[in-house]
Amino acid sequence: MPEYTAPLRDMRFVLHELLNVDEHYQKLNLEEVNAELIDAFLEEGARFASNELAPLNRSGDEEGCQFNEGEVTTPKGFKEAYQKYVEGGWPSLGGDVNYGGQGLPSTAGIAISEMIGTANWSWSMYPGLSNGAVATIESHGTDEQKATFLPKLISGEWTGTMCLTEPHCGSDLGILKSRAIPQADGSYKISGTKIFISAGEHDMAENIIHIVLARLPDAPAGTRGISLFIVPKFKVNADGTLGERNGVACGSIEEKMGIKASATCVMNFDDAEGYLIGPENRGLNCMFTFMNFARLGTAIQGVAHAQKGFEGGLRYARERLAMRALSGPKNPEGPADPIIVHPDVRRMLLTAKAFAEGGRALVYYISQLGDVVQKSTDEEERKQADELMAFLTPIAKAFLTEAGLEAANHGVQIYGGHGFIREWGMEQNVRDARISTLYEGTTGIQALDLLGRKVLQTQGASLRNWTKIIHKFCQANAENDAVKEFVEPLAAYNKEWGEITTAIGMQAMQNVENVGAASVDYLMYSGYVTLAYFWAAMAATAQAQLDAGTSEEAFYKAKIATARFYFKRILPRTAGHKGGIEGGLDCLMELDEEHFAF
Amino acid sequence: MPEYTAPLRDMRFVLHELLNVDEHYQKLNLEEVNAELIDAFLEEGARFASNELAPLNRSGDEEGCQFNEGEVTTPKGFKEAYQKYVEGGWPSLGGDVNYGGQGLPSTAGIAISEMIGTANWSWSMYPGLSNGAVATIESHGTDEQKATFLPKLISGEWTGTMCLTEPHCGSDLGILKSRAIPQADGSYKISGTKIFISAGEHDMAENIIHIVLARLPDAPAGTRGISLFIVPKFKVNADGTLGERNGVACGSIEEKMGIKASATCVMNFDDAEGYLIGPENRGLNCMFTFMNFARLGTAIQGVAHAQKGFEGGLRYARERLAMRALSGPKNPEGPADPIIVHPDVRRMLLTAKAFAEGGRALVYYISQLGDVVQKSTDEEERKQADELMAFLTPIAKAFLTEAGLEAANHGVQIYGGHGFIREWGMEQNVRDARISTLYEGTTGIQALDLLGRKVLQTQGASLRNWTKIIHKFCQANAENDAVKEFVEPLAAYNKEWGEITTAIGMQAMQNVENVGAASVDYLMYSGYVTLAYFWAAMAATAQAQLDAGTSEEAFYKAKIATARFYFKRILPRTAGHKGGIEGGLDCLMELDEEHFAF
């Protein structure tokens, strides 16, 4: 049976020991949050995830969502779990205090998001999308819009969506066709078809607030002619009660490979009443608030599936008996040894563990940058954190989801043939993970964002912001013999990263298509080096605890051992990606389109 | 809609131009087969695969097999397609002429197996398993057993299975528990539970012949105490008619991630009448006939899923419009460019293409070695081919299935979010592919077989047999400027392969666990270099045709361009695997079992 045990010790290690959130909150003058509150959240969140959500994960997958005449029924138990979630006050953690939120920083909820997502990714998407809608309205809404929509979104009574994709366009939103016609009362009539709308329709909340991209009449073509609208499922009366049904309806739900308990809806807008949010034709810019939010959320999904692959694989590797260790029996009284004795099984387990724990550190770190962006009163500090966050987000989204998918596959592989059978939960983990490299911008799109927009368009400045941090860490630990084994190679890779970037930049000046040729290998390279930094930093933190004397020696030694594994067995993959980049563009473009197949 | 167009031109290229099967048949004095017959098979097989099987692929996945009181119903159309297959005489291609077979060599049917498998892998498993049962009885059966079972297995009236796995053991057959009690009449009573039995029960044939591993009373423990038995579903009367039902029944079928139209059965043997095949306690050795057969069959599965990912991805990449090429519009009159203009989409397409076509060459080459083993009258030549086949089989099985899974995932990725939706068929391709790295020996098991048994136990002799062939090719083409770009790096990798092997061998003498630590990276390294040889050889063959003058210039140039892509963008991955091997054992073994998680 798939279960979920939240890795609370590791979460506390990252939040308290690696990232020092207590000190960080003090610096930001956030009196409402401290280590004690965080720990209480962790305990409570773990209980909710393990007791309420994990038991619905497999049944949700098997049952799926049902569609019937415009209505979507979520799997048994989903609605009740959502009620408990709302009653527990979880949706309001980060919300604006003026609209009923608790106003807590991003780091206060990041571990909750991870736990909920790992326990039941499909379920987590219903509240997850709402968080994005809240953030968008908080950032771009008028006071009236905020007053109308935020309180019930923040309380969780209503949920939200993000309506971007249309049948003919996803990555390329510039060609979207949905139309918005201005009305005399200041509202708009929205018409068009949106697809892949997660939580577009369901039975868990009384209203659904859609955030919709559409074009005004005579808007310029392309991405500069797109505006953003709020379109509620039920119109909202002046007194806040629900009014008549709006002209938006779910036309069908998709049959998918995974996340089957998450309703993926075709939404038909037919003269639906909508309200412009943000400036005309600047919708895509406003939507970036939502998209960055969603991208970090999807990075969490990478951690979630890696963690689940690791936990499931570990449970089986300890129990399943097969073969003797090559060096002789380790379980002589049994018929065979537990498979965890075999080096290759350990390689798979440690890979999943290194991705989960390293990914956790990266995601929580970005969340900490988010705190600064959101809460700091120092303009320059906010700007720096924002730039760093923008640089790290595509790495976290794409690299961690690729890593999560790999780790989920290791989870299956450790089970052998049993991994392919539903009852163990490992195959569902792969199916659920598979979407994560696709939605919220594919790996290819993230890679272009990273290399093209973030790195090359800033002449490398955004990369240097980050490599400088790594460089400072290496310098600070240069004399620390205990972590030399990590710091030395990290410093070398950090330098190589810059060199590779310069080389691509030069080629891109000759022919810009070189950017696309290098992008995904470059992103993966960047991800491996970035995770190496977090592993080195975690090893240094653990070593400091050991040096100081601790009763948790085994925990800190395991952290260092996992760092060692990462540096010795995972980081060398960078050589393959470097080689791929050097392989260049020409061999990709040589074949005419009609000569790919005969 | 997923369709299937057999890559006939490429199949002919491999069979006729690369492998020269016509000359090969003449050398083996096989008068019954020639290029003309092969081509007729290709045309006919492609028609059958495309017209009869491909249309049942998605419906078979959605419907799955039904289990009801011991009976298994296959999806709609499966039975009828099987009838046509039998009527077409396909099952008998390779069978012994003394029992109604056509006695054709392995290469005569290899492309048929690929086409059938690519069109509908689930369906292909029903006749596929029969082929293995036939091979086992042909090799190890008594004349009476052959006379009783072969004619109807070869005609396809009956099908066969392979019953190895038990609930507590798969990879480690040494601990299997099924029992065989000798009876006065020379037969045995077989009891035990077998799981994961493909085609163990179904409605497509009137009898099912199980090949079963079980222990005799007082048999030695471990793998040397296992015997092999024939256990028919219905006993066979002396006159060949079906007798009473035997004591074997399907207890349930598994719910799986993919290959849902293939019945994966729990088979309960309860004093079932069985007949010893081969010597007592030598069952595992006899079973190797079957297993090598199944491993090559699974290697074909890797090619099949790579081909399907490539074909599906190509279709979409030509049609789907998104974004402009970074260097400017390529389809200025349309709203966006077809995504095949983007270098990263091409990278994914070419990766799938390089795996499919390179894998095809490797698999067909092994099949050609099989012809020699089966048909040559020269003992030494047979021995050499057999050794080479034994060396290449784990590489083909494990590397090509890993590559096939990767390519299937590229197929999904090219479709973006649409790839996750059932209707395009790409997600089914991933789900179906996922089993291929698990069954018939996981990638880890194949890697131990390759590095431990094949390479190190022969002191590297089996590797040298193969690197010598590569070396000779490089020498023969050393002066050929047109293929220098392939031959030079290939020669360098070929040398490095030996060096890496020697280094592992030395470490293994210190501590044998080093074998398990290096094995999977070593296997992947070996696979990339082996495929590089086939790509270099295909490029040289194509270049020779260009030099000689041809009306198919585009085809041959595409072959060379794909070789170039493989060498420049795929082969560099070896550096990552080399680095992984060098990362060594210690970092895998450092963590105590109880310290993997806290």
User: Closest-CA residue in chain B for A409?
Assistant: B434
- pLDDT value of position A1: 47
Residues 6+ apart with CB under 8 A from A593: B318, B338, B340
Distance CA B451, CA B47 (A): 41
Judged by CB atoms closer than 8 Å, whether chains meet at A416 and B442 is answered as yes
If 0-12 CB within 10 Å is exposed, 13-18 middle and 19+ buried, where does residue B589 land? middle
Q: Are A87 and A217 spatial neighbours (Cβ–Cβ below 8 Å)?
A: no
Instruction: Give residues with Cβ within 8 angstroms of A332, minimum separation 6.
Output: none
| A575·B575 Cβ contact <8 A | yes
Q: Which of B171, B587, B589, B595 to mutate to test the interface with A (most CBs of A within 10 A)?
A: B587
Selecting from A350, A564, A580 the residue whose C-beta is nearest the C-beta of B572 gives A580
Indicate the residue of A421, A564, A580 with minimum beta-carbon distance to B590: A564
In a domain, B303, yes or no: yes
Residues B312 and B414 reside in one and the same domain: yes
Considering only CB atoms, A516 lies closest to which of B343, B419, B579, namely B343
pLDDT for the residue B1: 47
Could you give the 3-state DSSP secondary structure of residue A323?
coil
A47: its two tokens: 């209980």
Q: Which of B77, B81, B67 is nearest to B263 (CA)?
A: B67
User: Which of A307, A434, A587, A595 would you mutate first to test chain B, the one with the most B CBs within 10 A?
Assistant: A587
Q: Are B88 and B157 in contact (CB under 8 A)?
A: no
Contact criterion met (CB < 8 Å) for B520 and A344: yes
Minimum CA–CA partner of B598 in chain A: A9
Taking only the tens place, the pLDDT of each residue in B243-253 is 999 999 999 99
- Residues facing residue B66 across a β-bridge: B73
Residue A430 lies in a domain: yes
Q: Report the chain B residue with the minimal C-alpha distance to residue A554.
A: B595
Nearest to B596 among A257, A353, A434 (CB): A353
Cα–Cα–Cα angle for A20, A23, A25, nearest 5°? 105
Residue B408, pLDDT above cutoff 60: yes
- Using a pLDDT cut of 90, give the percent of chain B over it: 97
A588 touches chain B (CB under 8 A): yes
Residue B224 lies in a domain: no
Q: How many CB atoms lie within 10 A of CB B129?
A: 25
Which of the four pLDDT bands, split at 50, 70 and 90, describes residue B3? confident
Q: What pLDDT is attached to residue B287?
A: 86
Domain that holds residue B329: 287-443
Interface of B with A in 305-334 (CB under 8 A): 310-311, 314, 318, 321-323, 325-327
Of A256, A343, A579, the CB nearest to B422: A256
Single residue among B443, B468, B490 that ends a domain in this structure: B443
The one-letter code for the residue type at A401 is T
Distance CA A223, CA A356 (A): 36
Task: Please report residues of B whose CB lies closer than 8 A to that of A347.
Answer: 517, 520, 588
Q: CA–CA separation, A401 vs A395, rounded Å? A: 10
Cβ B569–A561 below 8 Å, yes or no?
A: no
Contacts of B274 (CB under 8 A, 6+ apart): B180, B187, B188, B189, B190, B212, B214, B229, B230, B231
**Are A426 and A558 in the same domain?**
no
- Which run of H or of E encompasses A41? helix A35-48
Tell me whether residue A214 is exposed, middle or buried, using C-beta atoms within 10 angstroms of its C-beta: 0 to 12, 13 to 18, 19 or more. Answer: buried
- Nearest-Cα residue of chain A relative to residue B322: A172
- The residue from A393, A421, A443 where one domain ends is A443
pLDDT mean over B33-52:
97
Q: Are residues A432 and A464 in the same domain?
A: no
**Domain-embedded: residue A423:** yes
Q: Cα-flanking dihedrals φ and ψ of residue A380, to 5°?
A: -65, -40
Q: Which residues contact B415 (CB under 8 A, 6 or more apart)?
A: B312, B313, B316, B320, B424, B426
**What is the set of active-site residues of B?**
440
Name B456's Cβ contacts closer than 8 Å, sequence gap at least 6: B504, B505, B508, B515
Three-state SS letters, A160-197 = EEEECCECCECCCHHHCCCEEEECCCCCEEEEEEEEEE
CB-based contact A343 B419, cutoff 8 Å: no
Pair B41, B63: CB distance under 8 Å: no
Q: A520–B327: do the CB atoms touch at under 8 Å?
A: no
Chain A CB within 8 Å of residue B522 CB: no
Would you place residue B446 in the very low, low, confident or very high pLDDT band (cuts 50, 70, 90)?
very high
Q: Which residues, in sequence order, are CB contacts of A573 under 8 Å at separation 6+?
A: A524, A528, B576, B579, B580
Determine phi and psi for B232, rounding to 5 degrees: -80, 150
Question: In terms of CA atoms, which chain B residue is nearest residue A8?
Answer: B598
CB spacing of B327 vs A512 below 8 angstroms? yes
Taking residues B21-40, report their average pLDDT: 96
Residue B274 falls inside a structural domain: no
- Specify if B251 maps to a domain: no
B44-98, pLDDT tens digit by residue? 999 999 999 999 999 999 999 999 999 999 999 999 999 999 999 999 999 999 9
The answer to whether B569 contacts chain A (CB < 8 Å) is: yes
Question: Residue A159 pairs with which residues in a beta bridge?
Answer: A208
- Based on its alpha-carbon atoms, the radius of gyration of chain A, rounded to whole angstroms, reads 24
In angstroms, the Cα distances linking A129 to A137, A214, A291, A293 are 13, 19, 10, 9
pLDDT above 50: residue B514 = yes
H/E run at residue A487: helix A484-510
| Plot region of A277 (φ>0 → left; ψ -120 to 50 → alpha; else → beta) | beta
Task: Check whether B289 has a pLDDT greater than 80.
Answer: no
pLDDT attached to residue A294: 87
B35–A contact, CB cutoff 8 A: no
Best B345, B569, B585 residue to mutate vs chain A (most A CBs within 10 Å): B569
Tell me: do B412 and B359 sit in the same domain: yes
Chain B residues in contact with A519 (beta carbon < 8 A): 344
Active site residues of A: 440
Main-chain phi, psi angles of A381, to 5 degrees = -60, -40
A118 occurs within a structural domain: no
In a domain, A545, yes or no: yes
Contacts B311 to A, Cβ<8 Å: 597
Residues A381, A505, single domain; the answer is no
Instruction: Report yes or no: B587 and B581 within 8 Å, Cβ to Cβ.
Output: no
Mean pLDDT of the B99-105 span: 96
Same domain, B293 and B434: yes
Q: Specify whether B426 is located in the same domain as B467.
A: no
- Residues from chain A contacting residue B511 (CB–CB below 8 Å): 327
A427 and A455 inside one domain: no
Preferred mutation among B42, B324, B529, B598 to probe A, highest tally of A CBs within 10 A: B598
Q: B282 and chain A: CB distance < 8 Å anywhere? A: no
**Looking at the structure, do residues A481 and A501 belong to the same domain, yes or no?**
yes
Q: What is the CATH number of the domain that holds B431?
A: 1.20.140.10
CB of B207 closer than 8 Å to CB of B188: no
Residues in chain A: 598
Tracing tokens 């061998």 back to the chain, one arrives at B505
Considering the domain architecture, whether residues B460 and B436 belong to the same structural domain is answered as no
Q: pLDDT 10s digit of each residue in chain A, 598 long?
A: 448 999 999 999 999 999 999 999 999 999 999 999 999 999 999 999 999 999 999 999 999 999 999 999 999 999 999 999 999 999 999 999 999 999 999 999 999 999 999 999 999 999 999 988 999 999 999 999 999 999 999 999 999 999 999 999 999 999 999 999 999 999 999 999 999 999 999 999 999 999 999 999 999 999 999 999 999 999 999 999 999 999 999 999 999 999 999 999 999 999 999 999 999 999 999 888 778 888 999 999 999 999 999 999 999 999 999 999 999 999 999 999 999 999 999 999 999 999 999 999 999 999 999 999 999 999 999 999 999 999 999 999 999 999 999 999 999 999 999 999 999 999 999 999 999 999 999 999 999 999 999 999 999 999 999 999 999 999 999 999 999 999 999 999 999 999 999 999 999 999 999 999 999 999 999 999 999 999 999 999 999 999 999 999 999 999 999 999 999 999 999 999 999 999 999 999 999 999 999 9
Nearest CA in chain B to A406: B406
Name residue A594's amino acid.
Answer: E
Contact A265, A69 (CB under 8 A): no
Q: Which residue has the higher pLDDT, A137 or B2?
A: A137
Give Cβ neighbours of residue A416 (< 8 Å, ≥ 6 apart): B170, B171, B438, B442
For residues B389 and B338, what is the distance between their CA atoms, to the nearest angstrom? 43
User: What's the pLDDT at B293?
Assistant: 80
Last residue of a domain, one of A412, A443, A474: A443
Token couple for A353: 């563990």
The model's pTM is 0.98
Of residues A325, A422, A408, the one with CA closest to residue B172: A325
E strands, B223-296, where?
227-232, 234-236, 242-245, 248-253, 264-277
- Chain A residue numbers with beta carbons less than 8 Å from the beta carbon of B564 are 587, 590
Rounded to the nearest angstrom, the minimum Cα separation between A375 and chain B is 33
Query: Among positive and negative, which fits the CA dihedral A9, A11, A14, A16?
Result: negative
CA-nearest residue to A564 within chain B is B587
Q: How many CB pairs under 8 A join A and B?
A: 303
CA nearest to B515, candidates B582, B585, B592: B585
Residue of B nearest to A311 (CA): B597
Domain count, chain A: 2
Residue B578, sorted as left (phi over 0), alpha (psi -120 to 50) or beta, turns out to be alpha
Is residue A459 helix, strand or coil? coil
Which carries the bigger pLDDT value, residue A132 or residue B149? B149
Which runs of consecutive H residues, i.e. helices, occur in B186-282? none
A505 contact partners, CB below 8 Å, separation of at least 6: A456, A459, A460
The confidence score (pLDDT) of residue B308 equals: 98
Domain shared by B497 and B536, yes or no: yes
Tokens 């002449």 belong to A459
- Cα-to-chain-centroid distance, residue A417: 30
Across the interface, whether the CB atoms of B172 and A336 are under 8 A apart is answered: yes
Residues B334 and B405 both lie in one domain:
yes
Answer yes or no: do B555 and A516 touch at CB < 8 A. no
Whether the CB of A576 is below 8 Å from some CB of chain B: the reply is yes
Of residues A458, A478, A468, A485, the one with CA closest to residue A390: A458
Q: A597 to chain B: which residues are within 8 Å by CB?
A: 7, 310-311, 314, 353
Residues of B within 8 A of A516 (CB-CB) are 326, 342-344
